[in-house]
Amino acid sequence: MATDFTADMRIERRPKLSERVVAALRAQVLSGEFPVGQKLPTETQMTEAFGVSRTVIREAIATLAADGLVEPRQGAGVFVLERPTQAFSSLNLEIGNKISHALNVLEVRLGIEIESAALASIRRNGAQLAEIQEAFFEFDRLIGVGEATGKSDFAFHRAIAAATNNPFYVDVLEALGTRAIPCDVTSPWGTDSVLTREYQEGLQQEHLAILRAISSGDPDAARTTMRMHLSASQQRYRARLSDQQADYSFGRTTP
């Protein structure tokens, strides 16, 4: 007789040794500990440092090379390549203070974050899920004390991107930067109407649906809840455009 298993009964997959090595090396490369052009430690040095076999190290290097972070050079070693974040860095400079720019940013985020939420629900490990949840509750704490929530909002979305275990999702999101989060006072779109407690509590309800979908390992639900969250943000901006039209009077420009 078949037995039904609920999401709560799933056994979390332990990351492979090579995945742990990849995560450690990726963090060192992206943080600049291994700068662009620098040669990584030798295979022998890394086997000793990580306490793993040469096969594990080679598998990890192959993964990093496929991600475009390093380049193995025959007879010379493995070298750090220019980081994708640098290639995307000009994106942040293009973000202005017009609602049209906000809608463009959200369109990009829709294309990136819907799938990142689905991948996170499948690939995330325990530590990554904890990081997503910690960002969620930090957002909640900041609402309670009346402080700006933009950084915690961005941290929530970034933690989801990181949980895909594909660094390019993080790179694109970081290129857009915290200024892409409208509920922060530093955002060019952080008007009084979007900094209210009611507005932010509504965002938190949308975040909760995303968190639950990722926690349950349901990629379809993760896609749906992220799409609903970002689409709702689009609708809120479109409503602001309509309000500007309604408030318009001849000879006076509404900012």
Q: Single out the residue in 25, 59, 82 at which a domain terminates.
A: 82
Q: Are residues 46 and 158 in the same domain?
A: no
Query: What's the number of CA atoms in the CB half-sphere (13 Å) around residue 46?
Result: 23
Within this chain, do residues 72 and 153 fall inside the same structural domain, yes or no? no
Q: What CATH number corresponds to the domain at position 133?
A: 1.20.120.530
CATH classification of the domain holding 25: 1.10.10.10
Q: Residue 69: its pLDDT value, please?
A: 82
Residues 114 and 238 reside in one and the same domain: yes
Instruction: Give a yes or no: residue 49 inside a domain.
Output: yes
What is the pLDDT at residue 9? Answer: 39
Which residue in 173, 149, 143 sits closest to 161, CA to CA?
A: 173
- Asked if 78 and 101 sit in the same domain, the reply is no
Establish if 254 belongs to a structural domain.
no
**pLDDT for the residue numbered 186:** 46
Task: Name the domain boundary from 27, 56, 82.
Answer: 82
Q: Domain for residue 133, yes or no?
A: yes
Structure tokens given for 64: 């990093």
Tokens of 166: 């594909």
Q: Which pair of tokens denotes residue 88?
A: 């995307």
Tell me, yes or no, whether 217 lies in a domain: yes
Check whether residue 66 and residue 100 sit in a common domain.
Answer: no
Q: Which of 24, 56, 82 is where one domain is finished? A: 82
Which pairing describes strands 77-80 and 70-73: parallel, antiparallel, or unpaired? antiparallel
255 in any annotated domain: no
Do 40 and 141 lie in one domain? The reply is no
Q: Which are the contacts of 69, defined by CB distance < 8 A and separation ≥ 6?
A: 26, 29, 30, 80, 81, 83, 167
Q: Both 55 and 104 in a single domain?
A: no
Together in a domain, 45 and 118 = no
Q: Residue 138 domain-assigned?
A: yes
Residue 155, domain member (yes or no): yes
Distance CA(182)–CA(187), nearest Å, equals 5
Structural domain for 191, as ranges:
87-247
| Residue 92 and residue 75 share a domain | no
pTM of the model: 0.59
pLDDT digits (tens, 9 = 90+) for 193-235: 556 778 888 889 999 999 999 999 999 999 999 999 988 887 8
Residues 112 and 222 in one domain: yes
The distance between the two most distant Cα atoms of the chain, rounded to a whole number of Å, is 77
Do 178 and 164 touch, CB atoms closer than 8 A? Answer: no
Q: Domain for residue 208, yes or no?
A: yes
Domain count, the chain: 2
Residues 110 and 175 in one domain: yes
Mean pLDDT of each 10-residue bin along the chain, 255 residues long? 43 64 84 87 93 91 83 91 57 52 77 94 94 95 86 91 90 72 50 66 94 97 95 77 58 52
Check whether residue 120 and residue 218 sit in a common domain: yes
